[in-house]
A and B are shown apart, each in its own frame.
Chain A
């Protein structure tokens, strides 16, 4: 089998028409001038293949999983949707109606509401900060989508990644469909994005009087993978909340029993990154949980990590890296991480080097440099 990904940079975010990137991507399977939505589905499903569209903060993509023997039947469908999608009016209506219904369910989930509020605060009115609202769907029009599609889904804005049983035949078939006769239109894809601008307000409390649990999300803008500190910051993040044995899990779940799960993470995007902590805790212990989170952050900034804990985290991270290279698809995923950050393979050498050699002092420095509680954004959804 092979997995083929067609990856496109999103077009510049337009606050007046915020949903274009996501809507165009999601509706790529909804019809072309020769294939209806159901014909596309039939063709893909009949050959036991899987076709996925995924919208991300920086890129949107189309992914095909197929047995090699069916490539010649499935590739032409992808070619068709990437060159000739027409976003039929009736399908657009269905899309909007169904998305609005799903949104109603999402907005009842505290963790989702917290994530939306947090992203909005950290990233401002940009593609990263977007949390679609009911009214945003009213700004979706077919003509805009067609224009957006034409600009974005063109070869000069596309990276194709093929992984799996990649043989001569597979590459030949891929070249037939996506080689020299896939032509760029005259208009260029504008993939620049406005600068991120974090909000002035740092505290957001969205009250849900009937909540049994409160969702907490807190953190601040941070560095991205291209920054030299990034691997060391990942070590610090792992100590804090990046694995099951982390400080946050050990204290807030395994000692206090306040939550089913708590973790911290770093999101590294093209225009900027964020470091965040997320959890859902018993509504009655929300205050106590936040106190404990802050206590753990302060500890990291004031006390050296013991050699025992640090060596454990080192080994865990190296094992995890090895585990993330389990099969050919995960190799391709690792490649994507560096490729789209403009980095080379030496990044992983450097990453393992840092993990092996990092000292407790350096972890402490990272905590002081990147965990300024005064700059933290705090979102609580539920009861406080």
Chain B
């Protein structure tokens, strides 16, 4: 149970306070309601590039990191297809520094040309490091456009191509800030060894003077129902063949989401999971295989990914995966197995309450979805699910005409060992 208070400033900034006096630290987490899905198709990767620029100095504070490190703090941020999240952890006694820094960059950035130039390069190197210079690194650059034809989930947060990042101009940066970075589009969570009254005063002092700005109204093209099976095969300089099968699935708040999330546990969580046991151990067809769901806000993707052993054909590998999916569609999950995945979900929730930062991020995300208190109702939602409901969702999702299959075929390369 994560207890919290919440209030909203006149300018629309939502604030959540979670006191935790077991730690000497405090966290200040700000979630902005903007992600890669809000980008222009001709300027992808922008939300993430922008995240980098948020560290390039704000209107009254030339250096973001330095004063924070000076008070023993650390920070980072991430951008997803749905949101952009910034966080600071620091000794609780120094919490006001976090308010000062975050309020100034919500007020306005420095918009420095030098910062833009450098961060364009840094992000291009990130693009190369994570997506181009790794075996299978480009999987999301290929799989997303295969699965999504209309919805902006069709590009990865890093962007469709390096050129979009190269082309970013300071005017675009300013416009993006104006559109998305204001109190109305943000949720702040302050947690740790602080008290609610103190947070309220500090929030008023530092954030209340920031103009409300314009409310961004999201209206994204929705993905039409997939009509037939999709498939792409790439021959690449990778050491092993690799099979990806992706299915459209319900969004975070849609009916069926929790069922499908449990399906990923049944298939792939731990060594007792079905795919590991059947396809890695018993039938010995794959060296590794995983199933996961991306937790997307809009209609999301359920992915199965496995590397077949060298003597196994792609056809055999795919057929074996489908056989497991058919089982889920045809037979209800046995009571014991359902209890197992529920127990795992329950203990994971308990474990995640050990981390202050996790709690703060989760509160922010649930508040954005509708209500921070849903964090505390999460476990019960999983516990209420029945085998019949899982079977029904499996039948709805695991259809050939809802599947996009991406195959990597290994082009033999010289192995350099050391």
Contacts and interface: CB of A to CB of B under 8 A. Distances in A.
Interface stretch (A8-16, A181-189, A264-272, A321-329): A321-329
A327 B69 contact: no
Interface string B241-272: 00000000000000000000000000001111
A45 B91 contact: no
A326 B69 contact: no
A113 B418 contact: yes
Nearest to A329: B354
B125 A316 contact: no
Interface in A41-69: 41-42, 44-50, 65-67
A320 interface: yes
A282 B128 contact: yes
B284 interface: yes
B187 interface: no
A326 B240 CA distance: 42
Contact of A120 (B134, B136, B270, B418): B418
A334 to B, nearest CB: 14
Contact of B307 (A101, A259, A316): A101
Contacts of B22: 327
A65 B351 CA distance: 9
B235 interface: no
B91 A319 contact: yes
Contact of B287 (A46, A50, A101, A313): A101
A327 B354 contact: yes
Contacts of B416: 107, 113, 206, 208
Interface residues of B, number: 72
A315 B69 contact: yes
Nearest to B342: A48
Contacts of B340: 42, 45-46, 48
Contacts of A326: 23, 25, 355-356
Contacts of A280: 125, 129, 133
- Give the interface size class of chain A: 35 or more
Interface string B342-370: 01111110110011100000000000000
B233 to A, nearest CB: 19
B417 A133 contact: yes
Given A94-B284, A327-B22, A245 B69 contact: yes
A131 interface: yes
Contacts of A41: 270-272, 277
Question: Which of the listed residues A108, A322, A329 has the most CB atoms from chain B within 10 Å of its own CB?
Answer: A108
Contacts of A34: none
Contact of A1 (B73, B237, B347): B347
A342 B171 CA distance: 58
A325 B92 CA distance: 13
B42 interface: no
Contacts of A312: 66, 69-70
Interface string A12-53: 000000000000000001000000011011101111111000
A46 B336 contact: yes
Contacts of B327: none
Contacts of B269: 45
Contact of B24 (A47, A110, A325): A325
A48 B343 contact: yes
Interface stretch (A146-154, A209-217, A295-303, A365-373): A209-217
B90 interface: yes
Interface stretch (A77-85, A194-202, A249-257): A249-257
A311 interface: yes
A244 interface: yes
A41 B118 CA distance: 49
Interface string A269-311: 0000000000011100000000000000000000000000001
Contacts of B24: 322, 325
B418 A98 contact: no
A384 interface: no
Max count, chain B CB within 10 A of own CB: residue among A1, A67, A210, A212: A212
Interface string B318-347: 000000000000000000100110011111
A101 B240 contact: yes
A142 interface: no
Nearest to B265: A45
Residue of B117, B237, B239, B355 most packed against chain A (CB within 10 A): B239
Given A94-B280, A326-B25, A257 B121 contact: yes
B220 interface: no
B74 interface: yes
A134 interface: yes
B262 to A, nearest CB: 13
A210 B89 CA distance: 40
Contacts of B2: none
Which 4 A-B pairs rank lowest in CB-CB distance, beginning with the nearest? A319-B72, A257-B121, A48-B343, A48-B347
24 contacts: A41-B271, A46-B272, A47-B343, A48-B343, A49-B347, A98-B280, A98-B288, A101-B310, A108-B413, A204-B418, A208-B416, A244-B69, A257-B119, A257-B121, A258-B125, A259-B125, A259-B129, A260-B123, A319-B72, A320-B72, A323-B89, A326-B23, A327-B354, A327-B356
Interface of A: 1, 29, 37-38, 40-42, 44-50, 65-67, 94, 97-98, 101-102, 104-105, 107-110, 113, 116-117, 120, 131, 133-134, 204, 206, 208, 210-213, 243-245, 253-260, 280-282, 311-313, 315-320, 322-323, 325-329
